[in-house]
């Protein structure tokens, strides 16, 4: 989060306003889509044929009496749940990408250590130690990101 705060000044305010507007527009479209679907799925007042098709007539009559404001509250809860699912999906996708990239760097580090053992190409102890430490850190990071991707803590 601090990264975004520090670099927010380098992005023009017009772009920030555009991005904020796009995010708000997407949330509004999801909300109104869920609200419209909830209102459209409810039988209209006096539509007895639709009431008979419902499983429980008493619940269908009660659902007819609900106000659009109650539907909006339900749609808002569904919108929040949907946005949390999207956020979780994006986080998992980024964890997978970081896991794959750090795994690749770990593989490169391990190969560098093995090639240094057989002295091809010849290098010094500092480079050998650097690749050993880099391999260990990237192996740990790969494990952490893989667990994040799998949803474990």
pLDDT at 102: 93
Place of tokens 């339900």: 74
**Listed residue (27, 20, 149) closest to 82, CA to CA:** 27
Q: Which residues contact 147 (CB under 8 A, 6 or more apart)?
A: 153
50 and 64 Cβ atoms separated by less than 8 Å: no
Give the chain's end-to-end CA distance (angstroms, integer): 21
Cα 43 to Cα 50: distance, rounded to the nearest angstrom: 6
pLDDT at position 67, please?
76
- Per the structure block, which two tokens stand in for 84? 């949390």
pLDDT on residue 47: 63
- The pLDDT of residue 101 is 93
Q: Which parts of the chain sit beneath pLDDT 70?
A: 1-6, 8, 43-64, 120-122, 153
Checking 42-46 for CB contacts under 8 A at 24+ apart, the result is: 42/66, 42/71
Separation CA 18–CA 12 (nearest Å): 10
Please answer whether residues 113 and 135 qualify as being in contact, where contact means their C-beta atoms are separated by less than 8 angstroms.
yes
Query: So what's the pLDDT on residue 24?
Result: 93
Give me the pLDDT at residue 143, please: 92
What would the two tokens of residue 97 be?
């990408």
As a dihedral over the C-alpha atoms of residue 20, residue 24, residue 30, residue 33, rounded to 10 degrees, the angle is -140
pTM (whole model) above 0.95? no
């Amino acid at each position: 989060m601090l990264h975004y705060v520090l670099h927010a000044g380098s992005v023009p305010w017009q772009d920030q306003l555009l991005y904020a507007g796009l995010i708000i527009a997407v949330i509004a479209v999801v909300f109104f889509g869920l609200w419209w679907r909830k209102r459209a799925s409810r039988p209209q007042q006096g539509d007895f044929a639709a009431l008979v098709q419902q499983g429980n007539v008493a619940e269908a009559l009660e659902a007819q009496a609900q106000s659009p404001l109650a539907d909006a509250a339900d749609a808002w809860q569904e919108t929040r749940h949907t946005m949390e699912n999207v956020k979780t999906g994006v986080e998992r996708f980024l964890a997978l990408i970081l896991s794959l990239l750090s795994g690749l760097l770990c593989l490169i580090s391990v190969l560098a250590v093995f090639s240094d053992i057989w002295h091809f190409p010849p290098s010094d102890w500092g480079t050998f130690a650097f690749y050993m430490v880099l391999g260990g850190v990237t192996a740990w990071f790969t494990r952490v990101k893989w667990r994040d991707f799998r949803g474990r803590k």
